[in-house]
């Protein structure tokens, strides 16, 4: 039986997700408990709960269904798989999700400072809501609550916990995650020395017209991918 028909994911899909996870860890956007997924044909490909991200391979990926039941792979999905299953349930257009534990974005929520676009790519994420419960999203109810708080946007911050980013494809999702954390790092640094410049609504609209581009998202992906050596 053809592998693509059997699982919905081919070797290139799996290699792409494994690379994304190693890139996220290398950039310190996820740690021992971050996770990323892709969806296709009603199946979800996600990283195993315990495999170290720096050494992660396609063999450390697990396929689950919409209820979190394992369909393929030797490991088990992360406890917070409900983030993925519930967002996919509520957002049929989403094809990739990354749950991050990034330093700078999390610092903003720890002190109650709202995310503000202080550099151009950071404006692509729009106004980012905050999920006020800092606890792990390890139940279906919590996942549904997070998905509802996310709404139709590309990202949500989790108070004193992390962030979740979604997109139609993994390359775009990765780029938006990178922009989120880069913006947060600049915002935190600027707040330490003064009042940051923040792009206004008109500037944000022009930025989206010019910078929401698969070519630029791929450029960001390639920048981080080159660091893998």
Q: Residue 7's pLDDT is what?
A: 65
Closest CA to 223 of 184, 181, 175, 173: 175
Are 115 and 183 spatial neighbours (Cβ–Cβ below 8 Å)? yes
Entry pTM:
0.94
**How are strands ordered across the β-sheet holding 70-72?**
70-72, 61-64, 43-47, 35-40, 96-100, 162-167, 155-158, 130-131
In CATH, the number for domain 3-226 is 3.40.225.10
Provide the 10 A C-beta neighbour count for residue 4.
14
Six token digits for residue 227: 């660091």
State the DSSP code for 113.
Answer: P
Predicted pLDDT of residue 6: 55
* pLDDT < 50: residue spans in the chain: 1-5
Q: In the block, which residue shows the tokens 């290139």?
A: 12
Chain CA centroid to CA 113, Å: 21
DSSP H or E run through 227: none
SS3 54: helix
Cβ contact 87:97 at 8 Å: yes
CB 178 within 8 Å of CB 211: no
Return d(Cα 166, Cα 159) in angstroms, integer: 18
Distance CA 26, CA 34 (A): 12
Q: How far apart (Å, rounded) are the C-alpha atoms in residues 126 and 41?
A: 29
Give the list of residues 6+ apart from residue 1 with CB closer than 8 angstroms, or none. none
The predicted pLDDT at position 74 comes to: 85
Using a 10 angstrom Cβ sphere, with 0-12 exposed, 13-18 middle and 19 or more buried, the burial of residue 181 is buried
Query: How far is 179 from 204, CA to CA, in rounded Å?
Result: 14
């Amino acid at each position: 039986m053809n592998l693509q028909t059997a699982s919905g994911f081919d070797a290139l899909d799996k290699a792409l997700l494994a690379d994304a996870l190693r890139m996220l860890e290398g950039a310190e956007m996820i740690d021992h408990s971050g996770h990323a997924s892709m969806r296709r044909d009603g199946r979800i490909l996600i990283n195993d709960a315990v495999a170290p991200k720096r050494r992660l391979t396609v063999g450390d990926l697990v396929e689950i269904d919409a209820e979190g039941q394992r369909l393929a792979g030797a490991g088990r999905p992360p406890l917070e798989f409900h983030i993925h299953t519930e967002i996919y349930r509520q957002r049929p257009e989403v094809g990739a999700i990354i749950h991050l534990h990034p330093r700078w974005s999390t610092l903003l929520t720890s002190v109650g400072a709202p995310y503000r676009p202080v550099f151009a790519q950071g404006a692509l994420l729009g106004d980012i809501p905050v999920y006020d419960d800092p606890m792990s999203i390890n139940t279906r109810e919590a996942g549904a609550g997070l998905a509802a708080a996310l709404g139709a946007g590309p990202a949500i911050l989790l108070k004193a916990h992390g962030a979740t980013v979604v997109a139609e494809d993994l390359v775009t999702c990765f780029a938006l995650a990178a922009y989120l954390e880069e913006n947060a790092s600049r915002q935190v640094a600027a707040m330490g020395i003064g009042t940051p410049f923040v792009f206004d609504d008109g500037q944000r609209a022009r930025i989206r017209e010019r910078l929401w581009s698969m070519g630029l998202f791929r450029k960001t992906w390639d920048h981080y991918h080159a660091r893998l050596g």
